[in-house]
């Protein structure tokens, strides 16, 4: 997969129902290229959701799997149509190689400079720094000073309230879960409210110093 085609923002779907998820995708109309959708593997019927979403929206939106813990889950997610894989921990070389053979992008997680370097050496496309809130926005600029410009994703505690700080510290990608939408909008499938959250986030990106 061409990394240039991967969106800056990944919306993390964890524990949402299929209808709630579809309301999010409806709210994304016109912004399909700005966001990817990650269905976590610990969501009920995750594989069925990944397959259905890809069948219905896969031409417009990148649909992938999150919380991928091992190669068995990886194989199942890819069989269901996942175009990318995120994990809360490191991926093995075998997992990264298998994904690339299938044309699937990999986003394993790391925390320290050594872990970040190790994953890129294994072939990871993007490295997810998790939980990002534990190290803070300045970590992204600091780690790249000695290591060079890197495709890093901030996940964990990222929201509209702090995302500009990450953008200003040279963070390239973001995974947003509970910090993306107002919970009541998700629960009630309030498309207008969900869309407001999307436009508010994108507006912040345009005013970064």
Q: What is the pLDDT of residues 126-153, one digit of tens each?
A: 999 999 999 999 999 999 999 999 999 9
Read off the pLDDT band of 207 (50, 70, 90): low
pLDDT of residue 2: 73
pLDDT of residue 208: 57
Contact 49, 57 (CB under 8 A): no
Q: What's the rounded Cα separation, in Å, for the pair 173 and 130?
A: 12
Whether 61 shows a pLDDT value over 90: the answer reads yes
Q: What's the rounded Cα separation, in Å, for the pair 104 and 111?
A: 23
pLDDT of residue 189: 98
- pTM beyond cutoff 0.85: yes
pLDDT of residue 1: 66
Whether 209 shows a pLDDT value over 60: the answer reads no
168: which residues sit within 8 A by CB, 6+ positions away?
137, 208, 209
Read off the pLDDT band of 4 (50, 70, 90): confident
Whether 172 shows a pLDDT value over 80: the answer reads yes
Angle made by CA atoms 90, 93, 97, in degrees to the nearest 5: 120
Q: Which residues are catalytic?
A: 38, 128
Sheet holding 35-40, edge to edge: 105-107, 84-86, 62-66, 35-40, 9-13, 173-176, 152-155, 127-129, 109-110
Structure tokens at 209: 């110093």
Read off the pLDDT band of 205 (50, 70, 90): confident
pLDDT in tens, 86-137: 999 999 999 999 999 999 999 999 999 999 999 999 999 999 999 999 999 9
**Alpha helix positions (H), 3-154:** 18-27, 46-57, 71-79, 93-101, 113-122, 132-135, 138-147
Query: Residue 62 forms beta bridges with which residues?
Result: 36
Whether 157 shows a pLDDT value over 80: the answer reads yes
| Domain definitions of the chain by residue range | 3-205
pLDDT of residue 138: 98
Read off the pLDDT band of 198 (50, 70, 90): very high
pLDDT of residue 35: 97
In 3-state terms the chain splits into helix, strand, coil percentages (rounded to 5) of: 45, 15, 40
Could you please state the CATH topology (level 3) that the domain comprising 3-205 is classified under: TIM Barrel (3.20.20)
pLDDT in tens, 9-51: 999 999 999 999 999 999 999 999 999 999 999 999 999 999 9
Q: Sign (positive/negative) of CA torsion 191, 194, 200, 201?
A: negative
């Amino acid at each position: 997969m061409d990394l240039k085609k991967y969106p800056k923002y990944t919306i993390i779907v964890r524990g949402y129902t299929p209808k709630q998820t579809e309301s999010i995708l409806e709210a994304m109309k016109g912004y399909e290229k700005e966001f990817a959708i990650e269905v976590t593997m610990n969501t009920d019927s995750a594989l069925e959701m990944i397959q259905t979403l890809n069948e219905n929206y896969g031409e417009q939106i990148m649909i992938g799997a999150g919380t991928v813990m091992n190669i068995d889950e990886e194989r199942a997610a890819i069989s269901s149509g996942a175009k990318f894989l995120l994990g809360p921990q490191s991926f093995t070389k075998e997992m990264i190689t298998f994904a690339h053979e299938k044309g699937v992008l990999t986003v394993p997680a790391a925390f320290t400079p050594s872990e970040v370097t190790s994953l890129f050496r294994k072939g990871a496309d993007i490295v997810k720094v998790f939980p990002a809130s534990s190290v803070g926005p300045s970590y992204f600029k600091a780690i790249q000073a000695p290591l060079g410009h890197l495709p890093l994703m901030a996940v964990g505690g990222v929201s509209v309230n702090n995302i500009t700080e990450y953008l200003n510290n040279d963070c390239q990608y973001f995974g947003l879960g509970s910090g993306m939408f107002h919970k009541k909008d998700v629960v009630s499938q309030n498309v207008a409210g969900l869309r407001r959250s999307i436009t508010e986030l994108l507006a912040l990106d345009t005013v970064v110093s």
